[in-house]
């Protein structure tokens, strides 16, 4: 078999990687060592930061990965991250963990797997394993996962657990339910290792080294060394102090997160368990010893699961809040062992209802005499569901946000500018014959000036402040970098139940079906006349409720349904179950009737008879088939007291139930009645009943497939539940709509119910049409098709007319008859079910992006489909938020750019944000704070960039006369001005309202580049002006300690002659230095105030009193020392005395400078360019399809003319949007056949067919 030099592991999965093999190369290693010595260790740091360079620089690639000693890994996602891994070798008795190996005697694992593992075993057992031929296995570890080399596949593979052997459900019962021998358990542990989700808390020293080796801190170290060489100790000390505080804070935060995560998983990492060693032998063992294939006994009082295991005997009641966020206990039943279900391959995803997950809490078990509740271990350690969640926290994907990518590009530009200054300084110094040491120091100093070391700390400040403000409104964040991303959200997906609507349901009423027709609706199922009806019996038994500490607990819908009957639920105690050989089922019965005193004997007799009937009427629940989201139903098998036959009751989605019932029992008005309820927003559940055959015994029922029971049912009627909107929902969605933020509903509920709720809450307005995309998969020779149903428009339509059009997978054209084309301006929304979504994504990939642009309602969506939907929306460049209550939303919450969980349970670790307020009012709050934090980041970045450029200009000009800024001038600028301003300008709170305009997402954008470049040119112009002007004054001369320009020019100043006690070797004191110091100091303040913008994303700066106080104090101080000089301050700052007239001139220069900067930023950029040029890209609304006004006024005509001219000037005329959803919107506006219209003929294969509008 031909071997390639590159392999792909985890193919098709989220963590897919490309792998190359390398072997050490001695001469490359020598060269790297020499280079590291020559660069003072800098080369080692570069190779540490860039693993691909490190491997390629010290190794040579081998075409046979099996011969590699070092692997180079690269992720295949958009981040293309590189990793380095070392190949290890171990000797074991077999090639794979589930191979049959002839082992004799105990097999103990030595400490650490290595090439000596097997020889160590032989030594320990004195040659007992000489007859076993050891096998050499290559492996490497990456992100807490081991990858083993497979000679057959010629690639690395991961051993996850029992699923690797592709065993059927019945196979688990027959082949894996008796347990493993200790010997086989030890052998498998060689591959699966210890069953522990080991979150190692790194030592402070290790964290410190990792933190200090960050490029940012290395650059700071370089800067501090350079400043110390220049005897610039004060600012060096300030930077060191800042760095120490920053490192200490970072270490504390990271260490705290590791400890929290460690404590979270430690509760179930090591517990004692009962392990089966054969059918009868049970022994105590530590959970760390468990391997896939072991059989454990679940104790009756419950436990916290230390692994993923599948139930093979008995039932369990489990709290899965750790994983799902749903605190409602769920019932887990044993894995089916026969029939169609038993023949299917076991899969954790498909058989969740039978699988106990690691970290979940077993509350209690249901067991019967002589039978223990047993489970087969499926996965251990990091392979478990909990382990994968912990891995995603330990090794998160980097945050992909344009701001951070652009920040690096911008810094590279600054490095380029620094390079120009570096060369300029060297050339100028050589020309002026400056000593070599001074040349080196000053040329390197220009780099530290251009790239400010305090930039990352200053940018982080805004995020930290935003995180604190979010905490005050009850929103907690575990990923602070995502706060900025929230400022760019333009689409938010909402779960319905518990998020948009109240979590609980109220029973509105029931509508029973009798003799093929509906009875009138009834509001009281507890009515005495209905006590023995099948409908009420179904309500009382078809649920998964249980009693915990005397209180009924379970799904809120089940609770409402059961409580409405007024019946009583009784469960057998542990003692009763143990004493009685016959099974003691859960029993439900009507309440004891309390009868009023009556005078009539007849009535009394009737009441006594009814009471006797009621008291003797009990129903035992023999078996439960739990609710399945895939099947959309649940069922129970029951036996009534005194009856021989058993009954089956089923409840579920009405559409599904109708397919399970006999047609003669379904009322003719079923569809119309169902639609009438769902259109009003009610949640409708259908009930059905069937009497089972007399020959079915209890034991047969326990092994019966649910498909055999859930068929040929009798339709009982409808249960109508009312799901009220939360008070805040409509207002929040209105705010989001006004802000051009698109909203999408993703729910597991019925389609028409979802549409009704969407209309009620304002997600769809009365004048907007809903188009239902009903897709069916291909069947036999029929291709996949989409039926487009136009639901009635509540604002214009009074009847129940439904228009439809059918499109086939094999479409080649449309022909329209009769109807006028629909106006593109008419707004519409698509709605689809999870089934249709799956068909469209698989068979109509060309329609996915078109539908994503307008689809607003996704009903009957499975959890993985929610995640898939988020990915589809992200693929068209939406910045997606997801808001859910934690149940079934974890995947989508993790996948979205910003996931907001309304659950405070431990499932919130899957979501970057968690709200303590259980309504969606947190969403606009989060977006407002995100926008404020994003604008703050831009403001700080622009300010720090201008600060470095202004200082760079000053220093470059002074270098031309072999001068520089003084140490205390640098200190005053860097600490008193820059640090104080940078940290206080981040304190502006968020603006109170969400506006339609979104902040820019990129630093490399027209408005921001225009802003930065114009301010740079302005500062350059005024610095050059001041520099040249001062040299042209009649009093100007080359400054010496005896110069007295003040007294020459003005007699009214009492300032003494310029005197100094030491010789100024660095030529700091001169008129150019003093002038540029004054001018540049005011420039820092001017750009800080101009860049610190308020409305529409932040509160005005005048409300940020620390910032305003700092600015006012600095202005007063600077004006004071400039107009009324204080000798002590002048001496400290190394400022020389200049004439009063020149001071007034400098005041005029700084005021004109400030005015020009303000006009350029506010008038030209914010008003003219934003309004007429850059905002044109933002037109089109949140979905890119809004239509602009067509009114023509002289003002609008002028604006259009100006916009056209400026667009031409800025080369933006005809420029298409870079975001995909805007491109798709433009394509659809030009497509006359979109959206699909009524009365359209669709061509499939050879014969055209069409559906005519009714």
Tokens of 109: 């694992």
Tokens 């400054």 locate to: 1039
Question: Given CA atoms 975, 977, 983, 984 in this order, what sign does their dihedral have?
Answer: positive
**Does the N-terminal peptide bond of residue 1235 adopt cis geometry, omega within 30 degrees of 0?**
yes
Please check whether residue 882 is in contact with residue 901, taking contact to mean a CB–CB distance below 8 angstroms.
no
Task: Tell me phi and psi for residue 758, to 5 degrees.
Answer: -65, -40
Of how many residues is the chain composed? 1254
Please check whether residue 1133 is in contact with residue 969, taking contact to mean a CB–CB distance below 8 angstroms.
yes
Distance separating alpha carbons of residues 268 and 356, to the nearest angstrom: 13
- CA–chain centroid gap for 781, Å, is 42
Distance separating alpha carbons of residues 309 and 330, to the nearest angstrom: 16
Q: How far is CA 548 from each of CA 218, 314, 554, 627, rounded to the nearest angstrom?
A: 58, 18, 10, 20
Please check whether residue 411 is in contact with residue 451, taking contact to mean a CB–CB distance below 8 angstroms.
yes
Alpha helical stretches, state H, 651-722: 654-660, 670-679, 698-702, 706-709
Question: Facing residues of 86 across strands?
Answer: 70
Distance separating alpha carbons of residues 1014 and 1022, to the nearest angstrom: 12
Q: Does residue 749 have an active-site annotation? A: no
Tokens of 490: 């333009």
Neighbours of 1120 (CB within 10 A): 12
Please check whether residue 595 is in contact with residue 611, taking contact to mean a CB–CB distance below 8 angstroms.
yes
Closest CA to 1206 of 1168, 1179, 1245: 1168
Distance separating alpha carbons of residues 718 and 678, to the nearest angstrom: 12
Count Cα neighbours of 1093 within 13 Å in the Cβ-side half-sphere.
22
Q: How far is CA 651 from each of CA 336, 717, 757, rounded to the nearest angstrom?
A: 21, 10, 23
Count Cα neighbours of 255 within 13 Å in the Cβ-side half-sphere.
15
Which of 15, 341, 445, 495 is labelled catalytic?
495
Closest CA to 965 of 1066, 1086, 1087: 1066
Distance separating alpha carbons of residues 701 and 633, to the nearest angstrom: 19
Tokens of 770: 């809903």
Sequence-distant (6+) residues with CB within 8 A of 1017 are: none
Distance separating alpha carbons of residues 15 and 10, to the nearest angstrom: 6
Task: Tell me phi and psi for residue 830, to 5 degrees.
Answer: -95, 150
DSSP annotation of 1104: -
| Helices and strands in the chain: count of H runs, count of E runs | 42, 44
| Cα–Cα–Cα angle for 1079, 1084, 1086, rounded to 5 degrees | 90
Pairing of strands 308-313, 714-722: unpaired
Please check whether residue 379 is in contact with residue 160, taking contact to mean a CB–CB distance below 8 angstroms.
yes
Distance separating alpha carbons of residues 901 and 909, to the nearest angstrom: 9
Distance separating alpha carbons of residues 625 and 28, to the nearest angstrom: 65
Closest CA to 161 of 324, 307, 350, 298: 307
DSSP annotation of 591: P
Neighbours of 1038 (CB within 10 A): 9
Element (H, E) at 1147: helix 1140-1158
Phi-psi region of 991 (alpha: psi -120 to 50; beta: other; left: phi over 0): beta
Just list the catalytic residues: 495
């Amino acid at each position: 078999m031909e071997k390639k030099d590159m392999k792909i592991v985890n193919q098709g999965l989220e963590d897919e990687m490309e792998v190359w093999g390398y072997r050490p190369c001695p001469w490359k290693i020598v060269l790297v060592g020499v280079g590291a010595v020559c660069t003072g260790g800098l080369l080692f740091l570069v190779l540490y930061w860039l693993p691909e360079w490190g491997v390629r620089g010290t190794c040579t690639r081998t075409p046979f990965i099996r011969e590699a000693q070092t692997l180079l890994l690269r992720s295949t996602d958009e981040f293309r991250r590189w990793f380095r891994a070392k190949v290890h070798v171990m000797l074991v008795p077999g090639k794979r963990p589930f191979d049959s190996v002839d082992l004799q005697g105990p097999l103990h694992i030595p400490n650490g797997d290595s090439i000596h593992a097997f020889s160590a075993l032989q030594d320990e057992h004195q040659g007992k394993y000489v007859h076993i031929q050891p096998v050499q296995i290559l492996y490497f570890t990456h992100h807490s996962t081991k990858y083993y080399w497979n000679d057959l596949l010629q690639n690395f593979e991961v051993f996850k657990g029992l699923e690797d052997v592709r065993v059927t459900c019945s196979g688990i019962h027959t082949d894996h339910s008796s347990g493993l021998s200790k010997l086989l358990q030890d052998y498998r542990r060689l591959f699966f290792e210890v069953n522990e989700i080991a979150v190692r808390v790194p030592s402070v020293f290790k964290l410190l080294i990792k933190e200090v080796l960050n490029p940012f801190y290395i650059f700071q170290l370089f800067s501090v060394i350079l400043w110390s060489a220049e005897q610039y100790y004060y600012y060096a000390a300030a930077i060191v102090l800042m760095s120490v505080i920053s490192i200490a804070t970072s270490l504390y935060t990271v260490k705290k997160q590791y400890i929290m995560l460690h404590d979270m998983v430690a509760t179930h990492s090591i517990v004692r368990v009962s392990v089966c060693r054969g059918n009868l032998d049970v022994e105590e063992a530590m959970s760390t010893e468990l391997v896939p294939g072991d059989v454990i006994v679940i104790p009756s009082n419950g436990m916290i699961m230390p692994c993923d295991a599948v139930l093979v005997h008995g039932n369990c009641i489990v709290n899965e809040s750790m994983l799902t966020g749903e605190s409602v206990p769920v019932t887990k039943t044993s894995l089916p062992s026969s029939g169609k279900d038993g023949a299917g391959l076991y899969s954790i995803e498909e058989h969740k209802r039978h699988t106990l997950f690691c970290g979940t809490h077993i509350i209690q078990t249901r067991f019967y005499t002589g039978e223990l509740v047993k489970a087969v271990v499926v996965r251990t350690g990091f392979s478990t569901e909990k382990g994968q969640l912990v891995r995603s926290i330990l090794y998160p994907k980097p945050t992909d946000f344009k701001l951070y990518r652009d920040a690096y590009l911008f810094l590279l530009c600054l490095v380029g500018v620094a390079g120009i200054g570096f060369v300029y300084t060297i050339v100028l110094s050589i020309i002026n014959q400056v000593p070599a040491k001074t040349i080196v120091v000053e040329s390197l100093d220009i780099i530290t000036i251009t790239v400010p070391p305090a930039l990352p700390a200053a940018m982080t400040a805004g995020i930290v402040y935003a995180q604190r403000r979010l905490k005050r409104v009850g929103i907690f964040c575990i990923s602070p970098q995502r706060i900025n991303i929230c400022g760019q959200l333009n689409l938010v997906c909402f779960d319905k139940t518990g998020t948009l609507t109240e979590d609980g349901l109220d029973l509105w009423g029931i509508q029973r079906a009798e003799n093929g027709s509906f009875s009138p609706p009834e509001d009281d199922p507890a009515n005495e006349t209905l006590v023995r009806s099948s409908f009420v019996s179904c309500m009382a038994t078809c649920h998964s409720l249980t009693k915990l500490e005397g209180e009924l607990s379970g799904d809120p819908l089940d609770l409402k349904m059961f409580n409405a009957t007024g019946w009583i639920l009784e469960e057998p105690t542990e003692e009763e179950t143990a004493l009685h050989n016959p099974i003691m089922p859960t029993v439900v019965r009507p309440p004891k009737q309390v009868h009023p005193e009556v005078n009539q004997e007849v009535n009394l007799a009737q009441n006594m008879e009814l009471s006797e009937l009621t008291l003797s009427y009990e129903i035992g629940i023999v078996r439960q088939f739990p609710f399945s989201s895939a099947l959309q139903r649940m069922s129970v098998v029951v036996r009534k007291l005194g009856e021989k036959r058993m009954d089956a009751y089923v409840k579920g989605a009405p559409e599904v139930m109708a397919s399970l019932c006999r047609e003669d029992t379904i009322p003719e008005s079923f569809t119309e009645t169902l639609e009438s309820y769902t259109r009003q927003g009610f949640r409708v559940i259908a009930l059905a009943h069937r009497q089972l055959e007399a020959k079915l015994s209890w034991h047969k029922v326990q092994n019966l497939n649910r498909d055999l029971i859930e068929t040929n049912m009798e339709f009982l009627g409808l249960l109508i539940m009312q799901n009220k909107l939360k008070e805040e929902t409509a207002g929040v969605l209105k705010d989001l709509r006004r802000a051009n933020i698109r909203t999408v509903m993703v729910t597991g509920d019925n389609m028409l119910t979802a549409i009704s709720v969407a209309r009620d809450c304002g997600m769809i307005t009365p004048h907007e049409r809903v188009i239902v995309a009903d897709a069916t998969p291909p069947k036999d020779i029929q291709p996949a098709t989409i039926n487009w149903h136009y639901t009635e428009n509540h604002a214009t339509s009074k009847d129940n007319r439904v228009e439809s059009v059918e499109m086939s997978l094999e479409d080649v054209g449309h022909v329209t008859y009769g109807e006028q084309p629909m106006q593109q301006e008419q707004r519409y929304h698509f709605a689809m079910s999870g089934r249709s979504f799956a068909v469209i994504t698989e068979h109509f990939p060309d329609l996915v992006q078109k539908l994503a642009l307008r689809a607003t309602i996704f009903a009957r969506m499975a959890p993985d489909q929610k995640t898939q939907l988020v990915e589809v929306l992200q693929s068209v460049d939406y910045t997606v938020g997801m808001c859910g209550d934690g149940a079934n939303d974890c995947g989508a919450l993790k996948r979205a750019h910003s996931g907001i969980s309304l659950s405070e349970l431990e499932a919130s670790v899957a979501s970057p944000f968690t709200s303590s307020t259980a309504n969606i009012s947190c969403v606009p709050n989060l977006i407002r704070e995100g926008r404020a934090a994003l604008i703050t980041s831009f403001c700080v970045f622009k300010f720090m960039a201008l600060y470095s450029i202004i200082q760079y200009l000053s220093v470059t000009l002074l270098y031309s006369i072999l001068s520089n800024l003084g140490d205390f001038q640098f200190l005053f600028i860097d600490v008193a001005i820059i640090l104080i301003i940078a940290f206080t300008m981040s304190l502006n709170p968020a603006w109170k309202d969400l506006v339609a305009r979104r902040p820019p997402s990129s630093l490399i954008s027209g408005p921001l580049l225009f802003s930065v470049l114009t301010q740079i040119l302005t500062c350059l112009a005024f610095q050059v002006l001041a520099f040249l002007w001062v040299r042209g004054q009649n009093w100007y001369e080359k400054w010496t300690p005896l110069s007295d320009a003040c007294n020459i020019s003005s007699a009214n100043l009492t300032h003494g002659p310029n005197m100094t006690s030491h010789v100024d070797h660095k030529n700091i004191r001169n008129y150019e230095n003093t002038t540029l110091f004054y001018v540049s100091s005011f420039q820092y303040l001017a750009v800080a105030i101009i860049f610190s913008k308020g409305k529409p994303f932040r509160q005005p700066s005048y409300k940020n009193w620390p910032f305003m106080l700092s600015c006012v104090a600095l202005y007063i101080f600077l004006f004071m020392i400039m107009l009324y000089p204080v000798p002590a301050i002048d001496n400290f700052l190394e400022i020389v005395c200049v004439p009063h007239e020149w001071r007034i001139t400098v005041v005029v220069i700084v005021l004109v400078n400030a005015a020009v900067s303000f006009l350029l930023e506010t008038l030209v950029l914010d008003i003219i360019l934003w309004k007429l040029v850059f905002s044109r890209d933002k037109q089109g609304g949140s979905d890119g399809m809004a239509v602009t006004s067509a009114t023509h006024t002289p003002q609008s005509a002028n604006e259009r003319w100006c916009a056209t001219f400026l667009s031409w000037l800025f080369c933006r005329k005809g420029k298409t949007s870079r975001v995909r959803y805007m491109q798709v919107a433009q394509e659809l506006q030009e497509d006359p056949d979109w959206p699909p219209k009524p009365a359209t003929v669709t061509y499939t294969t050879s014969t055209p067919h069409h559906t005519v509008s009714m």
